[in-house]
Amino acid sequence: MSASIAKNIEPITEHRANVLYQHGTLALLVPGLLEGTTTMGELLTHGDTGIGTGEGLDGEIIVLDGKPWRVGQGGRVEAVPDDFAMPFATMHRAAFQYQCERADIGLEELNRRIVEANGRANTFFAVIVRGTFSFMKTRAVIKQQAPYPTLEEVADRQAIFLGQDVRGTMLGYFSPIMFHGAAVAGFHEHFLADDHSIGGHVLDAVLERGEILTQVFDTLVQHLPVDNPEYRNHDFTHDNIGEAITNAEG
């Protein structure tokens, strides 16, 4: 390696704003490896912003400004304690840049325009949409008990929440298609209303008016639960990972 190249390589540190930290993968949820293998307290050492789910798919998690919130199957928004166990989460240190404002736009078109404006379909990035949503549809999967079922078996075991004219924050992560399995290709988005009246994994939405901010990552830190024997010994060759994730997350 030439010196001219080597001198431009920075050491990987999660304190850099362009580093995305992920614990676990969506692929490990497919066969039902839902045991909590990290805690919220640990995750908060890696960032102040993020999304995830609890042990046994216990609620949809959103972390904003260093404060973690959980939306469970009853729809109530609750603060998350440091010892809350999680099998999967994505975290980073917020350094968002203003992109634009949008009005009267559905979720699919909104996401398409965000990718188009970024010009980064092969890059990980985070997006925050703050504003008023004339329609919001979210879900929380019903908490599962061990022995855990597969992700496809629980895909339809979910509580659906509907909101109208609700002001809040939608936080999402975009992952390139080549990383489908580690994450979900495309957008994975969670929502939290300012008044905590609704939240969860976003299924559909219409933005009445709001601002869009994005943050691009050039480094992915992937942390795996190698001390968990079920994860370490599981044979993923028979799991239909791609299709299962698409069905569950869409």
pLDDT in tens, 151-189: 988 877 899 999 999 999 999 999 999 999 898 899 999
* Contact (CB, 8 A) for 137 and 170: no
**Is residue 70 over pLDDT 50?**
yes
User: Residue 39 pairs with which residues in a beta bridge?
Assistant: 85
Distance from chain centroid for Cα 97? 19
Of 66, 12, 28, 44, residue with least CA distance to 221 = 12
H-helix or E-strand containing 183?
Answer: none
pLDDT at position 7, please?
44
Confidence of residue 11 (pLDDT cuts 50, 70, 90): low
Residue 243 makes CB contacts below 8 A (sequence gap 6+) with none
Confidence of residue 13 (pLDDT cuts 50, 70, 90): low
Confidence of residue 248 (pLDDT cuts 50, 70, 90): confident
pLDDT at position 144, please?
95
> How far is Cα 244 from Cα 29, in angstroms, rounded to an integer?
9
Quote the pTM value.
Answer: 0.92
> How far is Cα 184 from Cα 177, in angstroms, rounded to an integer?
8
